[in-house]
Amino acid sequence: MSDQHSQLTYGSYLKVDQLLSLQEPQSNPVAADELLFIIIHQSYELWFRLVITELDRVITLIEREDLIPAFHLLERVSLVFKSLIQQIDILETMTPVAFNQFRAKLNPASGFQSWQFRELELLAGGTPQDYSRFASLEPEWFHKLKERGNKPNLRTTFVKLLQKRTLLTQSFSHEDFQKALLSIYNKPIQDELQTLCEFLINFDEQILLWRFRHVQMVERMIGMKHGTGGSLGVPYLETTLRKKFFPELWEARTQMGVLS
Ligand code: HEM
> Tens digits of per-residue pLDDT, 74-130?
999 999 999 999 999 999 999 999 999 999 999 999 999 999 999 999 999 998 777
pLDDT above 80 for 255 = yes
d(CA 156, CA 81): 22
Segment 193-221 shows an average pLDDT of: 98
Residue closest by Cα to atom 7 of ligand 1: 218
H-helix or E-strand spanning residue 56? helix 34-63
Query: What is the maximal distance between C-alpha atoms in the chain?
Result: 75
The closest-lying atom of ligand 1 relative to the alpha carbon of residue 114 is: 35
d(CA 134, CA 145): 12
Q: How far is the CA of 110 from the centre of ligand 1 (A)?
A: 6
Segment 154-180 shows an average pLDDT of: 97
Q: How far is the CA of 16 from the centre of ligand 1 (A)?
A: 27
pLDDT above 90 for 33 = yes
The closest-lying atom of ligand 1 relative to the alpha carbon of residue 221 is: 5
CA 243 to chain centre: 12
What is the pLDDT, as a whole number, of residue 5?
67
Q: How far is the CA of 130 from the centre of ligand 1 (A)?
A: 16
Q: How far is the CA of 41 from the centre of ligand 1 (A)?
A: 10
Segment 35-50 shows an average pLDDT of: 98
Residue closest by Cα to atom 19 of ligand 1: 111
Residue closest by Cα to atom 21 of ligand 1: 111
Ligand 1, pocket residues at CB < 6 Å: 40-41, 44, 91, 99, 110-112, 114, 117, 214, 218, 221-222, 227-231, 233, 236-237, 240
d(CA 91, CA 177): 41
What is the pLDDT, as a whole number, of residue 90?
98
Cut 0.85: pTM above it: yes
End-to-end CA distance of the chain: 75
Segment 200-215 shows an average pLDDT of: 98
Percent of the chain with pLDDT over 70: 98
How would residue 260 be classed by pLDDT, with cut points 50, 70 and 90?
low
